């Protein structure tokens, strides 16, 4: 799997996890959903994604979105 797919999979997992936790525990878990969404939005405009940099340092294959 390349970096792009890993970033999207991780973001999707974190959103689903925070939605589930907000229903089970506290509505404040929705702040995690907000953070992930804002990070995806800024990455779309700037091309900067902290997770993509971490994955690149770990030797994962780059995709087209995050170089």
- Here the tokens at position 50 are 């902290």
- Looking at the domain assignment, is residue 9 inside a domain? yes
Give the Cα separation of 33 and 14 in Å (integer). Answer: 7
Find the radius of gyration of the CA atoms of the chain.
Answer: 13
Total number of domains constituting the chain: 1
pLDDT mean for each 10 residues of the chain (67 residues): 93 97 96 96 92 94 80
Q: DSSP character for 65? A: S
- Looking at the domain assignment, is residue 67 inside a domain? no
- Looking at the domain assignment, is residue 62 inside a domain? no
- Looking at the domain assignment, is residue 21 inside a domain? yes
- Looking at the domain assignment, is residue 10 inside a domain? yes
**Which pTM value belongs to this model?**
0.85
- Looking at the domain assignment, is residue 52 inside a domain? yes
- Here the tokens at position 2 are 């390349």
Amino acid 67: pLDDT: 64
How many other C-beta atoms are found inside a 10 Å radius of the C-beta of residue 39? 17
How many other C-beta atoms are found inside a 10 Å radius of the C-beta of residue 67? 9
- Looking at the domain assignment, is residue 66 inside a domain? no
- Looking at the domain assignment, is residue 65 inside a domain? no
């Amino acid at each position: 799997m390349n970096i792009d797919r890993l970033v999207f999979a991780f973001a999707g997992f974190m959103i689903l996890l925070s939605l589930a936790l907000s229903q089970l525990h506290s509505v404040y878990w929705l702040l995690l959903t907000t953070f992930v969404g804002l990070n995806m939005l800024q990455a779309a405009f700037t091309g900067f994604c902290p997770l993509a940099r971490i994955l690149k340092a770990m030797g994962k294959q780059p995709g087209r979105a995050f170089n």
